[in-house]
Amino acid sequence: MAHDEDQSALVAKISATLAVKPEIFITHPAELKILRSMTDDDLRNFAAGHGWRTVRRLGGRQIEFYNDAGTRAEFREQRS
């Protein structure tokens, strides 16, 4: 349950930042712990489900999120 709350807070943070900036770099250890608990496929699906693209950098010390209009369009088509 706490993991879901942590993930929801992280989604809110990423969404808020990507609403005004083209990217967000997640570097905080507690946030990275949540994201590292996901497999690569889970992380990609998590990002795609929100219309984002993700890139892992610096040996796992940073995870980047970007808005991805293509992913958003594909996700909308799948829901229809």
Long-range contacts of 69-75, Cβ-Cβ distance < 8 Å, separation of 24 or more:
71/47, 74/48, 75/48, 75/49, 75/51
- pLDDT under 50 in the chain at which residues? 1-2
| Contact criterion met (CB below 8 Å) for 71 and 44 | no
What pLDDT, on the 0 to 100 scale, is given for residue 52?
A: 94
